[in-house]
A = this chain, B = another copy of it.
């Protein structure tokens, strides 16, 4: 033990958080020591409150403080389109674009046989139940553009197409503001595949 009692405890607890190494944990603990007690109390309270209050939306699986999340409760959202994502933070990333006015379905991950995650571990059954009771016409699959996300997208597309739904996938291509010479081959290949006619 390098520090006395409670300081060492705090350093260790900070060190358990993802992306916080021993040096950062120490820096954070010493910051707390020098911070206004009211601010530290607010952080401690926010931690406790999140565990006490946050649950998952019974419709889409997004984080919520009520039985349904703010998006599912919003009557202005288009009920005919569902965007399928892996995690609640993906919902927020898409909301920030203000491009999508439908509703979401959070899977809780992606199919990853190496990690023992199959379709049964994801909220796919809940998606099916949802589809049988609402008038959905399009499913946008917005899983991550990596191996697991692609596998999940293919699995879902095969499952949903026979139901007569329009199943789409977010476009892959060059990131806006990026540099063509730094794009990896797969992304550049996808950008060629998905090229569009310029109307000028």
B33 touches A13 (CB 8 A): no
Mark interface residues in A9-44 (1 if CB within 8 Å of B CB, else 0): 110111011110000101111111100010111111
Mark interface residues in A49-66 (1 if CB within 8 Å of B CB, else 0): 111011000000001110
For the complex, give the distance between the alpha carbons of A46 and B12 in Å: 9
For the complex, give the distance between the alpha carbons of A24 and B17 in Å: 11
B33 touches A54 (CB 8 A): yes
Q: Interface of A with B (CB < 8 Å)?
A: 2-7, 9-10, 12-14, 16-19, 24, 26-33, 37, 39-51, 53-54, 63-65, 69-70, 87-89, 92, 95-96
Given the known A-B contacts A3-B63, A4-B70, are A33 and B10 also in contact in the complex, defined by CB atoms under 8 Å?
no
B-side contacts of A26, CB under 8 Å: 89, 92
For the complex, give the distance between the alpha carbons of A46 and B50 in Å: 17
Given the known A-B contacts A5-B53, A19-B24, A32-B51, are A13 and B70 also in contact in the complex, defined by CB atoms under 8 Å?
no
